[in-house]
Structure 1
Amino acid sequence: MLKNKSSVRIISADGTSDKNLLVPTVLLKHWKKICISTLSFIFILCGSIIYFATSKKEHDITSKYEATLDEVRAMNRQLSWDQSESERDIHQVRQSFNKIDSTIERINAKMKKRGLKTIALQNAGGPIEADEENIELLSEFYAGALKDLDRKLSGIPIGIPHPGKITSRFGYRRNPFTNRGREMHSGIDLKGRTGDPVKVTASGKVVFAGYEGAYGYVVKVNHPNGFETRYAHLSKTNVRKGQNIEVGKVIGLLGNTGRSTGSHLHYEILHHDKKVNPEKYFNF
C-alpha cells in the first residue's frame, strides 16, 4: 500500500517557488483517521502517565499516613503504659505514707494515755521532693524510723500516771508527820481521791504488786533501757507479778495506805537502780 505514492506540490507564500513531495497515497486518503488515532494514542498515553503518577503519589501519601498513624498509636500505648506505671508508683507511695500515718496515730494514742499533747511530723504526707528511684527507700526509712521511735517511746516512762496536783516534789523536804527535820523524798506526790485510776507510764513487766511497808500497796514495773517505775499508797492493785503490761494500763487505784498523810499517789522513777526526779519525764 505504501508503494503507491502521490505527489504533493508545496508552493511558497509569494508563489515564486514550489516543491514536490511524494507521500504514500494511503496517508492522503486516511489522514483524518490517522490524525485521530495518533491524538487518541497521545491522549491515552498522557492519561496513563498521569494516572500511574497520581496512583503512586496516593500510595506514597497513604503509606506515610499509615506510618505516622502507627507512630501515634505506639506513642499512645507508651503514654498509657507510663500513666499506669505512674499510678502504681503513686499508689505504692500512698501505701508507704499510710504506714507512717498509722505509726504516728499509735504514738499519739500512747501520748494521750500519758496525759501529753499529741505529736506530728511536719509536712507528713505532703509533696515528695525525691526522684522516683528513691521514693520507696525514703518511705521505708521513715517507716523504720517511726517504728523505732514507737518502740523506744513505749519503754520510756514519759508522762503522768495521774492528773492530780503536785503536793510534794522530788528532793529534801520537811518531815510531814513531825514537821521537824528534813528527809529525802525520792519521788513525787500527786493529789487525788481514793479510787482514782492510776496508769502505768511505759510498757514493761510487773516485778512486784502487793503491800510493802511504808509504800503501802505498791506496783513496781520494769521497763527497757534500765527504767523502773513505782506507784505507791494505792488502795488496790489491778495487776500481778510477772504480767506484761502496755503503756496506759490502769495498774491500781489511788489510796492512802502505808506511810501516808492523805489520799495521794507516790510516784517514783529509777534509772539503772538510781532514783531520779519524775517531773523531768512529765513532758516529751
Structure 2
Amino acid sequence: MLKNKSSVRIVSTDGTSDKNLMVPTVLLKHWKKIGISTLSFIFILCGSIVYFATIKKEQDITNKYEATLDEVRAMNRQLSSDQDESARDIHQVKQSFNKIDSTLERINAKMKKRGLKTIALQNAGGPVELDEENIELLSEFYADALKELDRKLAGIPIGIPHPGKITSKFGYRRNPFTNRGREMHSGIDLKGRTGDPVKVTANGKVIFAGYEGAYGNVVKVDHPNGFQTRYAHLSKTKVKKGQNIEVGTVVGLLGNTGRSTGSHLHYEILQNNKKLNPEKYFNF
C-alpha cells in the first residue's frame, strides 16, 4: 500500500523555485485521519504520563502519611505505656513510703520506751498530697528523717563492745573472791584474752580515761540522751579525756586490772546516772 506514491510539488511563495516530494498515496488520501490519530495518540500518551505521575505522587504521599501515622501511633503507645509505668511507679513509691512510715513508728515506739526523743515534726499540718511532681520532695523528707534516725541511733549504746562469752550477768551475785554473801554487779563481764580490742558502742565524748580503784584501767564515755558507758579492767586505754569518738572506736585493750579475778571486760551502761542491764542493749 505504501508502494503507490504520489508526487507533491512544493512551490516557494515567490515562484522562483519548486521541489517535488514523493509521498505514499495512502497518506495523502487519509491525512486527516492519520493526523487525528497521531494527535490522539500524543494526547493519550501525555495524559497517561500525567495520570501515572499523579498516581505515583499520590502513592508517595499516602506512603509518607501512613508512615507518619504509624510513628504517631507508636508514640501514643509509648506515651500510654510510660503513663502506665509512671502510675505503677507512683503506687510502688507510695507502698515504699508506707513501709518506711511503719518502720519509723516501730522504731519510735522502742525509742520512747527507752526515754528517747522520737522522730516527729512539731507544729506542723496541712493536706496530704502525693503525685509525680512532689515525690522528689517527699523522698528528700524521708532521707532527712532517716539521717536524723541514724544520728540518734549512733548515740545509743546498742551492741557489744567485745564478742566474749558472758561470765557474770547484771544484778546480784555471790562474791567472786570469797564465794560468800551477795553483792550488786552493776554491769556484765565478758571473757577474753589480755590485749583483745574493746570498742565503744555509740558516738560520744570521753570523760575519763585512766586508773580508778576497783575499775582498774577504765574508760568512761558520755553519749546523747543522758547515756554513759564504762569499760573497766583494761590492760591499756587507747583514748584520752575530752576526745570525741565514733561507734566502733577502740577505747582500750582487755585486761585484768583493778578488782578482777581474771582477764575480762567489765561493761556498764547508765542513763541519767541510773545503771541499766547492758544485755538489753545487745540487740535492737
TM-score tier (shorter): 0.5 to 0.7
Q: Give the secondary structure class of the aligned counterpart of 2:172.
A: strand
Aligned-pair CA distance for 1:253: 1.5
Match in the other structure for 2:52: 54
Aligned-pair CA distance for 1:275: 0.8
The CA RMSD measured in Å over matched residues stands at: 3.4
Distance change in 2, residues 1:41/1:204 (3 Å): same
Residue 232 of structure 2 aligns with an amino acid whose one-letter code is: A
CA distance in 2, matches of 1:270, 1:43: 115
1:118-155 superposed Cα distances (whole Å, 9 cap, x missing partner): xxxxxxxxxxxxx9768756765665455344333322
1:151-192 superposed Cα distances (whole Å, 9 cap, x missing partner): 333222122112222121101112223333222111011122
Q: Give the secondary structure class of the aligned counterpart of 1:59.
A: helix
Name stretches of at least 5 consecutive residues in structure 2 with no aligned partner. Answer: 1-26, 87-130
CA distance in 1, matches of 2:134, 2:282: 38
Match in the other structure for 1:178: 178
Match in the other structure for 2:262: 262
Kindly indicate whether residue 43 of structure 2 is the aligned counterpart of residue 45 of structure 1. yes
Match in the other structure for 1:10: none
Residue 63 of structure 2 aligns with an amino acid whose one-letter code is: Y
Identical pairs, percent = 67
How high is the TM-score relative to the length of structure 1?
A: 0.62
Aligned-pair CA distance for 1:273: 2.0
CA distance in 1, matches of 2:63, 2:188: 87
Map 1:60-71; keep pairs closer than 5 Å: 60-69=58-67
CA distance in 2, matches of 1:191, 1:42: 119
Match in the other structure for 2:239: 239
Match in the other structure for 1:16: none
Name stretches of at least 5 consecutive residues in structure 1 with no aligned partner. Answer: 1-28, 90-130
1:195-243 superposed Cα distances (whole Å, 9 cap, x missing partner): 2221111121101111122212110011123221001111211110110
How high is the TM-score relative to the length of structure 2?
A: 0.62
CA distance in 2, matches of 1:226, 1:59: 88
Distance change in 2, residues 1:30/1:197 (3 Å): closer
CA distance in 1, matches of 2:195, 2:226: 30
Residue 282 of structure 1 aligns with an amino acid whose one-letter code is: F
Map 1:1-284; keep pairs closer than 5 Å: 32-69=30-67, 136=136, 140=140, 143-144=143-144, 146-284=146-284
